Chain A
Amino acid sequence: MSRVVIEAGRSETQYWKDLWRYRELFYFLAWRDILVRYKQTTIGIGWSLIRPLLQIVVFTVIFGKLAGLPSERLPYPLLVCAAMLPWQLFSNGLLECSNSLISNSALISKIYFPRLVVPTSTLVVCLVDFLISGVILAGLMAWYHVSPSWRMLTLPFFIAITCATAMGAGLWLGALNVKYRDFRYVVPFIIQMGMFLSPVGFSNRVIPEKWQLVYSLNPLVGIIEGFRWAIGGGPANFLRIECLYSLGVVAFLLIFGIWYFRRTERFLVDVM
């Protein structure tokens, strides 16, 4: 028979074991979110395609045609697409992650489970969205006769880093969101600014050399660079020191995010 000991400040020790024990809840929450997301909409999963598609069109016209920015070796729409998809994954993940605690507060304040289950399961929905919008990428590649290479096999790695970034920042902002509701307004703002601060609509090369180091503190820089490399080839820019910086920032975000989340988790329900 299992034995549970509750002591002030002691729930720590069983935490990671519990997380494993509650994996079914994780699946089901993700499953619920996926079901609910498309249930009441008429276009259904079409939304996962329309939004990025329109954004790609707009960015291509503005940055590629009007501003006439260089596109390097990829056709401009593909250049934007290779960045837009991971960006959408990141921004949706960040938004959902940071809102998940509040939107599930009814559940959280009534039932015990490791709270990490909630924000991480919302990431699954974003990932599904991302995979669906992969159709756009495939379509564009076929249209521009860009044949996939072995480099595509590295994509899961970059996807994982994107998720880690979204999760790290999302956990941190999510925990802050419970404590200070102001963060509800901060997150969309971060996302809006981040879209232009990351090389989504333009190539990385547009940024002057001397700013590259500072620029790559933005973890999305390395990720987007990686995506573009995996799809279009070219020099492995993401292996440069700047992009390792990105990776370092991601690792820091994730560890800090989880640490902060765990710290807040203990009195989460008390302030909810």
Chain B
Amino acid sequence: MKDTAILVENLGKKYLIRHQRTERYAALRDVMMERIKSLGQRLLTPLNGQSNNSTREEFWALKDVSFEVQQGEVLGIIGRNGAGKSTLLKILSRVIEPTKGRVVLEGRVSSLLEVGTGFHPELTGRENIYLNGIILGMTRTEIRGKFDEIVAFAEVEKFLDTPVKRYSSGMCMRLAFAVAAHLETDILMMDEVLAVGDAEFQKKCLGKMGEVASRDGRTVIFVSHSMGTVNQLCTRTLWLADGKLMAAGNTAEIISRYLTNNTSAEGKCAWKDGISSAGVNEFKLFSISVLAPNGEISSNLDIQKPFTVRIHYKFYRDLPFCRVGFLLRTPTGTTIFEVYDADEEPWAGQRRAGEYMVHCEVPADLLRPGRYTLTISAGMPGVKNFVNLESVLTLDFEETRTLNSLMLTPRSGIIFPKVKWKQ
């Protein structure tokens, strides 16, 4: 018999968006100016009481979300950017207050919204382990007890008394994750912490997380964009869209529903005024389309024929080190490949302002038949993200070359290349 660890009822978070304002925080002079303006407006047009409200708009980052998490369950939360995942996690970890609703958490909670929160570059590794541990909610005795384990996991024995600012970023990450992984709380919440670090370390972290989750029967909430990771770690998954709970249930089922929803079936996705991530003004994406060999836009493709991905975008000023490209994924989130237009030599990522229409031809006889999703990503690697649209297009590849090998036994493998045999 399992108990409920987290109970969420009708949770809502409202923000007021002010238009005509670009700063995130107010300056006193603006507030005073606004007051004076609205006072003047009210004096001039006393009957029109609505006028000064026109600059404000209510926005529900989260609305009527209810769910329950059993003790010992590893729950994944997926959704597009801005769907309310981080807001939900922030409310659950008590960083922000909900506007509506109620949450009951049974047990000690710790949250990991960012790896290395509270790391101070001037302090040594040893000092940071203590500081970070305390910040994450451990007690001093707990940290002392786990100290050696943390150090061994992070592989930083030699540098314990070196200031963290001299660490490589990888070492920093390892240390931060090591502290977090040794948290002894009943409920652990994590946001995209695995998105960084090299592949080997990611694997180690995943292993550790799986172990932690299964061993002590602790409850884990995991927010991620990586379907593969969610699929691997989570038993149950929530899908959020526009602040509302779309579906909850078995991970594999929810992921495949998520990936096939939200996408256009016609093989083209276009934005009239262009699209880019919040705060980006140097780049706009206008369209992405998939073309069959005859030049027609299509999302039903033949595995024996090449296809072309066409991306139309614009740079508003000259920029170095930029790349625009896409990822092809299976519905379960495994990335088949990731390519960028700057991969080709003469470009080298150096961009002049202007409009671009790039074509990428993907060779024939490469993919296995089935359904794939295409994610577009543009940015300056490691510096800035211009746009990142998960699964904008869904592509269906027909089984024109049989998947069955001789004797009609099904073939395994992620890809299905046509190879040449010689004798």
A residues adjacent to B (C-beta < 8 A): 1-9, 11, 24-25, 28, 32, 35-36, 39-40, 106-113, 178-183, 266-267, 269-272
Query: In the complex, A272 Cα to B111 Cα: how many Å?
Result: 19
- CB pair B131–A32 under 8 Å, yes or no, is yes
Partner of B97, one of A1, A11, A24: A11
14 extra interface residue pairs, beta carbon distance < 8 Å, beyond A4-B109, A25-B134, A266-B97: A4-B104, A24-B134, A39-B163, A106-B118, A110-B95, A110-B111, A111-B111, A111-B113, A111-B136, A178-B25, A180-B25, A183-B28, A267-B97, A269-B96
Number of A-B residue pairs at CB separation under 8 A: 115
Question: Are A111 and B97 interface neighbours, CB within 8 A?
Answer: no
Complex formed: what's the CA distance from A108 to B114 in Å? 12
Shortest Cβ distance from residue A272 to the other chain B in the assembled complex, whole angstroms: 8
Q: What's the nearest-Cβ distance from chain A to residue B131, in Å?
A: 6
| Bound complex: CA A9 to CA B130 (Å) | 33
Residue interface mask B350-367, A partner, CB < 8 A = 1? 000000000000000000
Q: B248 interface residue, CB < 8 Å from A?
A: no
Closest chain B residue, CB of each to CB of A107: B118
Q: B123–A5 contact, CB under 8 A?
A: no
Shortest Cβ gap from A269 to chain B (Å)? 5
B96-117 CB contacts (< 8 Å) to partner A: 96-109, 111, 113-114, 117
Contact A9/B27 with A3-B105, A32-B131, A106-B117 known, Cβ cut-off 8 Å? no
Residues of A within 8 A of B107 (CB): 1-3
| Stretch of B86-94, B232-240, B390-398 lying at the A interface | B86-94
Residues in A with CB closer than 8 Å to B97 are: 6, 8-9, 11, 266-267
Digit string of B158-186 for contact with A (CB within 8 Å is 1, else 0)?
A: 00000100000000000000000000001
Judged by DSSP, the binding face of A is: mixed
Residues of B within 8 A of A (CB): 15, 24-29, 31, 90-109, 111, 113-114, 117-118, 120, 122-123, 127, 130-131, 134-136, 139-140, 163, 186
Distance to closest chain A CB from B286 (angstroms)? 33
Question: Which of these, B26, B27, B122, B186, contacts A36 with CB under 8 Å?
Answer: B122
Query: Chain A residues near B131 (CB, 8 Å)?
Result: 28, 32
Chain B residues with CB below 8 A from A181, complex form:
25-27
